Amino acid sequence: MKQRYILPVAVIILLILGAVLWLGFFTKGKPTDRSFRTNVVLPKEIIVKLDKNGFSPKEVTIKTGTAVRWENVSGDKQTVNSDNYPTNQLHKELNFGIFNNGSSVVYIFKTSGTYGYHNQLNHEQSGEIIVTK
């Protein structure tokens, strides 16, 4: 490329980059049009933390249609699995398996009952979800 074209091309690239950054700055945090077109009804959500000491709270009572979010704040990989340890067969829908620190798993409880669960990597860490109508 000839030297006389280098400066104009660089200026054009910088102008385009600046425009992209400027537009991103002024639209950041504003809802997109899609956010108003959803008909999804979000359920009530309860958060259960899983840290190095176990689940907190250990027991939760909720209504059907409520979501439970298990958040891994332990600093390591953990699991949420259905009772009975080690087969995890009582409520197979709760067998989420391993999930990383800083991530979470969610389940919406649609049927009343008592749902026991544990951390497969440390089965003494357990909890219970009691679902009522």
Is residue 103 domain-shared with residue 66, that is, in the same domain? yes
How far, in Å, CA of 58 to CA of 39, rounded?
33
Q: What's the number of domains the chain is made of?
A: 2
pLDDT-derived band at 4, boundaries 50, 70, 90: confident
- The answer to whether 90 and 51 are in contact (CB under 8 A) is no
**Residue 120 located in a structural domain:** yes
Asked whether the predicted pLDDT for residue 19 surpasses 80, the reply is: no
The DSSP string of 46-76 is EEEEEETTEEESSEEEEETTEEEEEEE-SSS
How far, in Å, CA of 30 to CA of 62, rounded?
33
Is residue 67 domain-shared with residue 123, that is, in the same domain? yes
Asked whether the predicted pLDDT for residue 5 surpasses 80, the reply is: no
pLDDT, tens digit, for every residue of 48-75? 999 999 999 999 999 999 999 999 999 9
Token couple for 106: 């969610």
Is residue 22 domain-shared with residue 56, that is, in the same domain? no
